[in-house]
Structure 1
Amino acid sequence: MHRPQPDILQNLRHELSNGRMWLDRTVVLAYAAIAGLSVVSFTFLTNLAFAYFERVYHWQGGWAVLLWVPAWTAAIVWATRRFAPTTAGSGIPQVIAALDPAVSEQERSVFVSLRLTVAKLVLGAASFFAGLSVGREGPSVQIAAGVMQHARRWLGPQSGISDHALLVAGGAAGIAAAFNAPLAGVLFAIEELSRRLESRSSGLIITGIVLAGLIGVSFFGNRSYYGVIVVPELNWNALVPGLLVVLACGALGGLFAKVMAASLTGAPERLNLLRARFPIRFAAAGGLMIAVMGLSTGGATFGAGSETVQHMLKGEADVPSMYVTLKFMATWLTAWCGVPGGIFAPSLSIGAGVGHNVSLFMGADIAPALIAIGMAAFLAAVTQAPLTAFIIVMEMIDGHALVLSLMAAAMLASLISRLIARPLYETLALHMVAVLKAAPAPSSPAAPVEAEKPAPPTAP
């Protein structure tokens, strides 16, 4: 059957004739750029905050952190509970909860809004200032989603761009700008947030995600997050140590997700009752334990762990033998205390530690490859989003030579994790929605602050 050729001039005339449509597209792309700038600002702020913490840590032999970390942890938890309770934790479960069909348009502001974006930016940076084991990538998702959701008020009723699409675009833009990895942002939108893209606006949404990533590139340069690793040629001798890394990361990541979900949704009951009754004291006690762990590892467990990973990849790090265990515990305690902060970067550092330990144990000369495989495997096990995990690691280390290895590691580790725990972010998001629906309605529709009082529990 003969099909007529497209009329270029007629199609171009049709496209340009709809001024309202182009205005809506411009609004979305402008907000995507603002979302990218917000994440860039958050990155600069967290870097500055952690640099100041390191000055405190190196002052007088580091013992000041035994007072500094508990005091600031308690202060952050107090401020979070007082002013913005739904900024606690990562921010990814909050965005997933806002995307839940059971959550109304009015209720979305409990999880995502411009006010929460500002609060997340400040309180998230304060978590780095305290030296806690947090990452900035999860908070970047909630920060960017809050910016993108605000675009709704400027869009026309016939724009075809839904609140769902704006939230997905914002969350994915946060990942793209934070990791300097636009492709990871697109996959994150499909695999973790939406699991589909609306056909009417998918092109515009993907363009917005890429634009936010380009904003990050323009500030930080077109470079890999962890630099470029040199991987020797892999052969069958790498199979056993590589498989050992994947199995260990899959089991450990599944355990991590299970412990986090249990702690943040009500179990173990006794400790959570104590946490609910004395949240500030609980946070101070947790901060003290995190400070002790940091001192015992020479400061390696403080912060996101990015510098430790970079040193491991270069073969320069004298990583403490208990690094993986203590980083695991420090990240869990940080989230359980209820401070704003993510688990992406700490998860990558834990996985890198597993790969480093296996390379030392097996005497393998492919340590950089095992460290990269551990990063992808542990992140995939925790999030149960294997495609996003392996793409993030590949873009962060410029590891195109390891594409198949990273993909296989992420898939297998995610499968092992699913035998141990349910998907972490989805579990926490469902719990948040359930808590929101079970809470009594505010006495007056004109009291938006009161509507945020029955806030969901913290999320990693």
Structure 2
Amino acid sequence: MKLKLSTRHQRLVKITSARWQRRAIFLLGGVVVGAAAVMLAQLADLAQQAFAMLLSKSRYASLLVTPVGFGLSALLTARLFPNAQGSGIPQAIAARHLTVQQARERLVSIRIAVGKIVLTLFGLLCGASIGREGPTVQVGASIMFAIGRVSPRRQPGLILAGAAAGVAAAFNTPLAGIVFGIEEMSRAFETRTSSLIIAAVIAAGLTSLAVMGNYDYFGTSAVTLGRGIDWLAIPACGVVGGLMGGLFSRFVITVARGLPGVAGQAIRRHAVPFAALCGLAVALCGLVSGDTVYGTGYTQVKAALENGAPLPGDFGLLKFLATALAAISGIPGGIFSPSLAVGAGLGSNVASFFHGAPLAAIMLLGMVSYFAGVVQAPITAFVIVTEMTGEHTMVVPLMTAALIAYGTSRLVCEEGIYHALAKGFIERSTPPTEAARAPARL
């Protein structure tokens, strides 16, 4: 009897220990991801400030610095940090679908995380129209994956948790982090890991709050749609944002899959000169815009929302071009913040047709519409915009605009950009013998 009780006790202790170990891994990972996100955010601000100082000395310095920086970043990515190019979210999605650990490690690892951080900062230092939030997702997934590998037992949901924690910490939007994990990363809700994923998001969010304090990413703007005619801005922004977002995604996906003929062969053979050429085009966009389309676009949009001042009429289009050029160049960098900036510019353009309407409200509609059109994740779009601005009176209009944009975007591009690009990483990383197996999720 004593032996039987002792055996049961040992089994209970073993089960309890395993559960607490699993929880500790997710919580520790969330803290580390939060710290990494804060570090990247602060360094990104410094990088953009340094580039702005350069432009204050000579506006035309970008004609040299930006193309050289693009070319060097593309070279370093190809030679030292392969699979660190672009946003990083497609790599995290692909890693969850691969069955071989070595294949996953080529997409999410500490080496990749370091390269992603360094080269994203380098891109911002050179004036690239990129964001840090997408890279934070790949960094978060890489950190969680690395922590999981030192665990004696396999821990499901780590990559998903790391990605969600990355979004939460990067934008100070915990709810958006959870929704992003469900809608975009997994396209399903995994109940057995849901509480652990939420725990990781909370840990990352608390770490961000402890270091940077509570804040709204794009400030606060107490606005709402007033007159009945103002509500026509919802379908207008939804259609315009969805159409432009779909065009952006289709263009980037087409180039990523390889253009046909001589043009496609030239890009593949001369990737570094192509990146430099893209950088030169971005610099020209910057000069035409009055130096407003470099970097994330955060400063311009935040000021416009808080002051109720319209963005320049060509801001949306030029930011669209600069972001598209950076996305196809092959350098590391995200499209989250630049997409929101493009949407704000488009919203400002739409607002010019609604005299007397609240400008900030229509800019928010443009932001959510364009972002939903690009990523084709309407729930994530309106949740993240709502949390970033602290504007809860606009929830219903934002939801409606996001759904209209999603439907419009689908007419132009059949699949969201992240999942379409993830297929390329999966195909390149999956041996033929593994392709027929059921996908593993981590």
Structure 2 length as normaliser, TM-score?
0.91
Say if 2:359 is the partner of 1:363. Answer: no
SS in 1 for 2:87: coil
* Alignment equivalent of 1:43, drawn from 23, 41, 44: 41
Say if 2:171 is the partner of 1:179. Answer: yes
Q: Which amino acid aligns with 2:226?
A: L
Conserved 8 A contact 2:88-2:334: yes
Say if 2:117 is the partner of 1:121. Answer: yes
Which aligned pairs between 1:375-390 and structure 2 lie closer than 5 A? Answer: 375-390=367-382
Say if 2:339 is the partner of 1:347. Answer: yes
SS in 2 for 1:155: coil
Q: CA deviation at 1:429?
A: 0.6
Q: Which amino acid aligns with 2:328?
A: W
Provide the residue aligned with 2:439 in structure 1: none
* Alignment equivalent of 1:250, drawn from 238, 242, 246: 242
Conserved 8 A contact 1:308-1:317: no
Q: CA deviation at 1:295?
A: 1.0
Q: CA deviation at 1:261?
A: 0.6
CA distance in 2, matches of 1:233, 1:64: 43
Say if 2:80 is the partner of 1:83. Answer: yes
* Alignment equivalent of 2:139, drawn from 120, 135, 143: 143
* Alignment equivalent of 2:270, drawn from 266, 269, 278: 278
Provide the residue aligned with 1:73 in structure 2: 70
Conserved 8 A contact 2:235-2:404: no
CA 1:20/1:72 → structure 2, altered by over 3 Å: closer, same or farther? same
Q: Deviations over 1:395-426 (max 9, x none)?
A: 11111010111111111111111121022111
Q: CA deviation at 1:277?
A: 1.4
Say if 2:405 is the partner of 1:435. Answer: no
Q: CA deviation at 1:318?
A: 5.9
Provide the residue aligned with 2:7 in structure 1: none
Q: CA deviation at 1:338?
A: 0.6
Gaps of 5+ in 1: 1-13, 442-460
SS in 2 for 1:58: helix
Conserved 8 A contact 2:285-2:293: yes
Structure 1 length as normaliser, TM-score?
0.88
Gaps of 5+ in 2: 1-11, 435-442
Conserved 8 A contact 2:224-2:394: no
Q: Identity of aligned pairs, percent?
A: 37
Which aligned pairs between 1:447-458 and structure 2 lie closer than 5 A? Answer: none
Conserved 8 A contact 1:70-1:285: yes
Q: CA deviation at 1:319?
A: 3.2
CA distance in 2, matches of 1:68, 1:328: 21
* Alignment equivalent of 1:133, drawn from 125, 129, 134: 129
Which aligned pairs between 1:204-215 and structure 2 lie closer than 5 A? Answer: 204-215=196-207
Say if 2:411 is the partner of 1:415. Answer: no
Conserved 8 A contact 1:37-1:216: yes
Conserved 8 A contact 2:132-2:334: yes
Q: Which amino acid aligns with 1:255?
A: L
Provide the residue aligned with 1:328 in structure 2: 320
Conserved 8 A contact 1:290-1:333: yes
4+ residue runs over 6 A deviation:
14-17, 438-441
CA distance in 2, matches of 1:266, 1:197: 33
CA 1:190/1:58 → structure 2, altered by over 3 Å: closer, same or farther? same
SS in 2 for 1:381: helix
Q: Deviations over 1:246-295 (max 9, x none)?
A: 11101111111111111111125433322211112111111111111101
CA 1:318/1:386 → structure 2, altered by over 3 Å: closer, same or farther? closer
Q: Deviations over 1:185-212 (max 9, x none)?
A: 0000000111234322221121111211
CA distance in 1, matches of 2:105, 2:65: 33
SS in 2 for 1:363: coil
